[in-house]
Structure 1
Amino acid sequence: MTIVVPVYDDLPGLERCVEALLETVDFSVDRVLLANDVGPNVDAIERRLLELVADHPGFEYTRNERNLGFVGNCNRAVLELDRTGNDVLLLNSDTVPLPGFLDEMTAVLAEDDSIGVVCARSDNATIASFPYARRNPRANLAPRRTRELHGRVKYLLPRFSLAPVAMGFCFLIRRETIDRFGLFDEVFSPGYGEENDFCLRINEHGYTAALANHALVLHTGSTSFSGDRGPTLRLEHERILLERYPFYGGAIALFLSRYRDAVDVFADAFLPDDDAVRVALHLPAEVDGAVVTRVRSVLAAAPEHMVITLIVARSQLRAARQAFPGALIAVGGRPRQIFDVAVALGALTTFGQLSMLNANAPRWVLVDPIPQDVRWSQAVTHHRANAIDRILRRFENETLPWQDGKSLVEAIETAARTEIDPTALRARWHAVTDIAEATGLLVHRAQVSMRRLAALTFGARNPRIVARIRSITGRG
């Protein structure tokens, strides 16, 4: 294995990376190539690097004659300097690889000849981030938290998950794919999007990317491009990706909704990082007087450690805000937030409601589900809702009739203390998702809209305006 570390700036991060490699790499098998791309502090970085590695036989150091940018630096190191024929790991200099990461990644690469690229899990790596969805998205995710959580659940996860792309911070490439297809397209120079293009390019020839779920590499991220340059490059290069691969957005959505393991989806709930019980309280489609009375009763009975978010239909958002001032309210739930318990307050009558419940939490509590009626007239009228009810009852933690807010709060507390069963969770996740996709409720588009491409073009030209809009709308 040849580990290529592209070097530009950020000396403290580089020191941490090299020190971690010294501790984790088996140099009787693997070698490290440090490729210095002549950044703003090139001489100081060179001196310090040579001090760190000294005469260590497992390290090779090279310095470019001029700055080539991340893409050019990687291409030169892999295509020109490394003549070993080894598989190649591109490892960002702002990473801290943890023990065992390389063994796991190489094991995944060896699992199947069709796997062309592998990346590790991380605290900061978009779809490879761990956890991806959070119980409290407003809280900072410390590296220590990622390490603790990963240690708790990694062996509940499959060894790897196939994904549309792998993340470039820790990018293990099968040498055969480099020999056949080259490496990064210079159109993505100096950086951003080049690894996604590589994954999608080789996928058209039968190779796929994989996330090594048992490997963990911490990653600082976004240290190379300051000011407006980073956002501009990201948006420009995303537009290029979508023009080349119109299905790319749909592929990412399909991975997140279907191909991630269910334990991965709800990982943050397996080892909570606070004492709060976070609850998604799903309201019926119509927020009438009876519903308002029930919700107020629940909110009044909830103890301080119970954080309740009301999940409402968009059409009911204004009415809910008026009826429950000061309450946490979300339309359909936040896509990157999960909860400890989801509560259906009243019968769910649409599959959309069921799908939303499925995405919110690993535990379900049902209140006043559809009554079992023996009259055929009612069975015919409500057959779709009855089918949804049968799915719900198959996977719920508790079903109870409405009594009062205090009784429901007690049921929520009991459910929150129930250990999550990974096997049952996977069965539920796949059952609901499969039906959603088969019925057309969940659609992953194979084409990108002209509106999306135009928005990316505008964003690349006006990154500050886009950042301001996102901060106002909460979509940053």
Structure 2
Amino acid sequence: MSVTSIIIPTFDGLPLLISCVESIRLYTDLPYEIIVVDNGSSDGTLEYCLNEKILFISLPNNTGFPIACNLGMSAASGDQILLLNNDVIVSQGWLNNMLNALYSEEEIGIVGPVTRNMSGIQKVACDYEDMQQFHQLASQWNIPDCSKWQVVERIVGLCFLFRRELMDRIGMLDERFSPGHFEDDDYCFRARSHGYKLLICGDVLVHHEGSASFKKRYPEGWHDLIIRNHQLFIDKWQVDPYDFLLPNKEEDGT
């Protein structure tokens, strides 16, 4: 049976990481491996991963999301690769439904879930007050239903599933976008340029806390970082990525 390599970059976010890992372990019944790539944390992340016997890559300082993901992708042994933010909590049926979508057609390149806290078309309206209520809602939301799948032009990188063959064909994340933002748009653009489709799994609801690591490191430079990387994308492709942010041309607020 195929294995999914779940790569989780993290930086000084141990409580988030613990919640993320616990939700994976509780709600994933298919073969997987977890690879945590730590960007120089000083909050006990190393000790936690060692104690929990989690495959762990330790960096001396914070290199950002694309570099950390690429290191994890290089170490991954799975048939599928899943890039997962440390501030995401998954629930019942999440990976089953995403893999069903990924393998529904040969041309599907990348799939992603929906959540209430993100930018663009993957954002959905739903109401819950705590994680208990979230899981109760997700148990009903995540009933397999291919009618809730939607082909799109962009998948946000907070929960980003693709086959190894896609990585072998188009390569790793572009590290020019370090420490992060628009590297996911770039990867989507490259996948689509090679003939792949992107699919939103409307039958997979996850909880997303929202840009926790970036806001911690860049409390005052958040907007400038988005502007810089937006221009880097335009310079690379001569295309404005905001054209892909449907239904509204929002700034990347993942």
TM-score normalised per structure 2: 0.83
Match of 2:36 in 1: 34
Deviation at 1:157, TM superposition (A): 7.1
**Which consecutive residues of structure 1, in runs of 5 or more, have no partner in the other structure?**
135-139, 257-334, 336-443, 445-455, 457-476
Other-structure match for 1:104: 97
Deviation track 1:107-133 (CA, whole Å, cap 9, x = no partner) reads 1000111111111111212121112xx
Native 8 Å contact 2:138 2:205 kept in 1 = no
Letter in 1 for 2:223: P
Equivalent position amino acid for 1:166 in 2 = I
Alignment of 1:6 with 2:9, yes or no, is yes
Q: Find the aligned partners of 2:33 and 2:142 in 1 and give their Cα distance.
A: 31
Structure 1 residue 66: Cα displacement:
4.1
Structure 1 CA distance, aligned partners of 2:220 and 2:16?
22
Residues of 2 paired with 1:108 and 1:153: CA distance? 13
- Do the aligned partners of residues 69 and 154 (structure 1) sit closer, same or farther apart at CA in structure 2, a change above 3 Å counting? same
Q: Which amino acid aligns with 2:36?
A: L
2:62 aligned to which of 59, 63, 67: 67
Change (3 A) 1:156 1:4: closer
Name whichever structure is richer in strand by fraction.
2
Q: In the alignment, is the contact (CA less than 8 A) between 2:113 and 2:204 conserved in 1?
A: yes
Larger CA Rg, structure 1 vs 2: 1
Does structure 2 retain, via aligned residues, the 8 Å contact 1:5–1:90? yes
Looking at structure 2, the residues matched to 65 and 153 of structure 1 have their Cα atoms a distance apart, in angstroms, of 39
Residue 97 of structure 1, CA deviation: 0.6
Q: Give deviations 1:206-248, integer Å, cap 9, x for gaps.
A: 0121111111111101212231222211122123334425264
Cα RMSD for the two superposed structures: 2.8
Q: Quote the offset at 1:249 in angstroms.
A: 3.2
Equivalent residue, structure 1, for 2:123: 129
Partner of 1:467: none
Between 1:153-162 and 1:7-16, the stretch displaced more is 153-162
Structure 2: gaps (5+ residues): none
Aligned mates of 2:166, 2:103 — CA distance in 1:
14
Q: What does 1:267-346 correspond to in 2, within 5 Å? A: none
8 Å CA contact retained: 1:242, 1:249? no
Other-structure match for 1:77:
72
Q: Work out which of the residue numbers 185, 190, 195 in structure 1 matches 2:179.
A: 190
| Aligned-partner residue type, residue 16 of structure 2 | G
Deviation of 1:85 (Å): 5.0
After TM superposition, the score normalised by the length of structure 1 is: 0.46
- Number of aligned residue pairs: give it: 240
Match of 1:179 in 2: 168
Cα 1:251/1:19, change in 2 over 3 Å: closer
Distance 1:162 1:150, change over 3 A: farther
Which ranges of 4 or more aligned residues in structure 1 deviate by more than 3 Å?
Answer: 140-157, 247-253
**Structure with greater helix share of residues:** 1
Match of 2:224 in 1: 232
- How far residue 96 of structure 1 moved from its aligned partner, in angstroms, is 0.5
2:193 maps to a residue whose letter is E
Displacement after TM superposition at 1:170 (Å): 0.4
Give secondary structure in 2 for the equivalent of 1:173: strand
2:6–2:34 CA contact under 8 A, matched in 1:
yes
Give the structure 2 partner of residue 202 of structure 1: 191
Give the number of the structure with larger relative contact order, counting CA–CA contacts within 8 Å between residues 6 or more apart. 2
Aligned match of 1:266:
none
- The 8 Å contact of residues 185 and 241 in structure 2, kept in 1 or not, is answered as no
